[in-house]
A and B are shown apart, each in its own frame.
Chain A
Amino acid sequence: MVSRIITGAHYGLRDWLAQRITAAIMAAYSVILAIVLLTGQPMSYPVWRDLFAQGWMRVATLLFAVSLAWHAWVGMRDILMDYVKPTAARLGLEILTLLLLAVYLGWTVQILWR
């Protein structure tokens, strides 16, 4: 048996698990939103505005946005690790990815609580 006692090392299990949990959250939100939109009143501005004015919808949408950012970070990092070999380029693209996801998150909060 190989015992690896390396302080601070982890083998990606947390990322793997987080990607799957956030995927389930986003899938559930998507299905609920689709049902709400398809079974609700005909779409108009008051209907649309009132939908996103409700507390549960704002919280659910924020949860979706956080899930998306986390999920996308794991996925984008996987892609960059696989295809971008030069360290400097990969690090640069990883930083850009994090910035992009942070902008998405901030923008979502701004839209929901304006």
Chain B
Amino acid sequence: MTITAAAKKRRPKYLSLPAILFEIRLPLPALVSILHRISGLLLVLPMTAWLLYLLDASLASPEGFEEVRGQYLRQPLVKLGLIVFAWAFFHHLCAGIRFLLLDLDKGIQLPAARATSVAVLAVSLLLTAVFAVALW
């Protein structure tokens, strides 16, 4: 059998953004992986800058502490931001623990890898929910 040049697949294949977002359904471990990247990026910028700003203001003086705690952190938009931070933090932590276990060859079979992926997604959302309830 001969393969003509036209019949050969062109590699590498670049996917359009709509295809990535709407056509391809990611396997659960891949979803955990890309969310690990997105949450990591969010934690670097803007979350670390924001939390350092809050730490700075709250430690500077009693007035600063009261302003942060009594006024700033009571605003709904700020609380929403803290909940986004909490999700990014918990997801990054849970997925990170999973990756450490994978490095140690724990849970690398497909059924186990799927189960731990579900666990990471569920536990991080649950912890975020607990945080949100405590905050509000």
A75→B40 contact, CB < 8 A: yes
Judge whether B44 and A27 touch: CB under 8 Å.
no
**Chain B nearest CB, measured from A96 CB (Å):** 10
B56 interface neighbour in A27, A75, A111, Cβ under 8 Å? A111
Whether the pair A20, B100 counts as a contact (CB closer than 8 A) is yes
- Convert B94-117 into 0s and 1s, putting 1 for each residue whose CB lies closer than 8 angstroms to a CB of A: 001100100100000000000000
Q: Is the CB of A104 within 8 A of B40?
A: no
Interface flag for B83 (CB, 8 Å): no
A73 CA to B103 CA, complexed, in Å? 20
Q: Which residues of A contact B100 (CB under 8 A)?
A: 20, 23-24
Q: Which of B37, B58, B96 contacts A27 (CB 8 A)?
A: B96
- Report yes or no: B52 in contact with A45, Cβ–Cβ below 8 A: no
State the Cβ distance, A63 to closest chain B Cβ, in Å: 16
Please state if B96 and A23 are interface contacts (CB–CB under 8 Å): yes
A97: shortest Cβ distance to chain B, in Å? 8
Which among B48, B56, B66 has the highest number of chain A CB atoms within 10 Å?
A: B48
